[in-house]
Amino acid sequence: MTFEKLPYEIRILVFEQLKTPHDALHFRAMDKINYFSIITDRLYNAHFLRVPEYDLLTFFKWKSQQVTYFFLIYLTLGKGFSNLASDSDLWWRKTDTLEDQRFCLGVLENGFQGPIPAISGQPIDTELLLPWTSRIIQTGFTPMDPPCSDWATAKGTFVVTGGSVASCCRPDIRDAFHHIHDRILTRNGEFGKSKAYICARKAIVSSLEEGFLKGVHRNTHKWIEVHIKLEGWDEHVMPLINHCVEFMDKVELLYNHFERKRRVLNDNS
């Protein structure tokens, strides 16, 4: 029996056994009967998230757990999720059922709403991170022996700020901090004013502080000189920066998704 001759009931049974929205979307588009007569929006929504929602949730839930953990803490301050590590809060359900997927999206969507929380105890405040990030962009790095007593006995190759862009070595490091400055710390537009952005920026700064321990050292006097241990940078810090830039891009996509959803609801009310 060809696919075109399968009874509607069999097609529905096959559809209900699919694993992801990507599979469901491809199955729905196999022919006009599937798309227009059998796999209606109502049937689809009863079994799957929309693909953009699923892809964003997959990133936050499975591919970026550490940064997402900090992000959710900041988003949900004062909203009853005071102990996110506790199973009793069901803050980020581990199963991948549709119910749990929608619960997790609901936590994010609800967290995006409301006033920006007052956040204290930040390891590096964003206002302190910006000046030395700007200095790195302006000066680049030059080779140097271990620059301070704390790192004097450490083995490895170091570069330090204080040269000039014209003589900059490892321009890829300078470019990475350019990304931190432009794509994490100084976003513009409505997203740049949003609670989602402020909380994501705090979460990323927390993650960077932890990751910088493996390859970045700042002079504590005015926090203006930066020393990079190249071995730690290449193995640990650069991948983290790339991930944090991607994280902020995903937060903006999710913010725009929720904003479009809110506008549609308002237009229909």
- Tens of pLDDT along the chain (269 residues) come to 788 888 999 999 999 999 999 999 999 999 999 999 999 999 999 999 999 999 999 999 888 888 988 898 888 775 544 445 444 345 566 677 898 899 889 889 988 988 887 765 554 456 667 777 888 888 888 887 666 656 656 677 778 787 665 667 788 888 999 999 999 998 989 999 999 999 999 899 888 888 888 888 776 555 567 888 888 888 889 999 999 999 999 999 999 999 999 898 888 77
Task: Please report where in the chains the tokens 């080779």 appear, as a residue.
Answer: 143
Alpha-carbon span 123 to 132, nearest angstrom: 15
Alpha-carbon span 161 to 224, nearest angstrom: 9
Residue 187 CB contacts under 8 Å (≥ 6 apart), including other chains: 197, 201, 248, 252
What pLDDT sits at residue 21?
96
What pLDDT sits at residue 253?
96
Alpha helices by DSSP H, listed for the chain, are: 8-16, 21-28, 32, 41-45, 51-58, 65-75, 98-112, 126-139, 171-179, 189-192, 195-212, 230-232, 238-268
Q: Are 219 and 135 in contact (CB under 8 A)?
A: no
Tell me the whole-structure pTM to 2 decimals. 0.85
> What is the number of alpha carbons within 13 Å of residue 72 lying toward its C-beta?
24
Alpha-carbon span 96 to 124, nearest angstrom: 35
Alpha-carbon span 232 to 156, nearest angstrom: 9
What pLDDT sits at residue 124?
47
Alpha-carbon span 26 to 255, nearest angstrom: 26
